[in-house]
Amino acid sequence: MTLQHIVLFSFPADLSEEEATQMRDMVASWPTQIGLMTRCRLGTDLTGARNRGYGYLLYTEFPDVQSMHSYRAHPVHVEFMNWLAARACTPLAFDYVLDEQTVLMTESDDRDGLGRAPSSRAEAAMTDEAVVPDPD
């Protein structure tokens, strides 16, 4: 079972460049300092047009609910939560299990973790993807 944990963050004022870097650095440390997760991504909205004040999104995946609970209680995560609270951040979290009801499209072509399929036949071969012969 895989669990997705998605959090949107709204700050009352824009983060300074230094604060945005601090936030990214904290989250980027989690795979090594906390572990437990199988995916970890942090991004900002491209346009700001429809985000209703939520300027950052955290996307993580965990192998099970217990791993997510352990992550939440980990001192490195607690420190991050305190950092958010010091900036009056309003987080909005959503957790759900990936199963036959929630996965509407598979991600078998997501070889680099960046949502990109291999860009060439050679790259596809390096990722163990079957290479279909050219029709001509």
Question: Among the CATH numbers 2.40.50.660, 3.30.70.100, 3.20.20.70, 3.20.20.10, which is that of 2-99?
Answer: 3.30.70.100
Start-to-end CA span in the chain (Å):
43
pLDDT of residue 51: 85
Residue 110: its pLDDT value, please? 53
Interacting residues of 113 by C-beta distance below 8 A, sequence separation 6+: 39
pLDDT at position 104 is 86
**Sole residue written with tokens 């958010």:** 84
Could you give the angle at which helices 65-73 and 75-86 cross, rounded to 10 degrees?
60
10-residue mean pLDDT series, the chain (136 residues): 95 96 97 96 89 93 96 98 97 93 78 49 44 48
Which amino acid is it at 88?
A
What are 39's strand-pairing partners? 61
Q: What is the pTM of this model?
A: 0.76
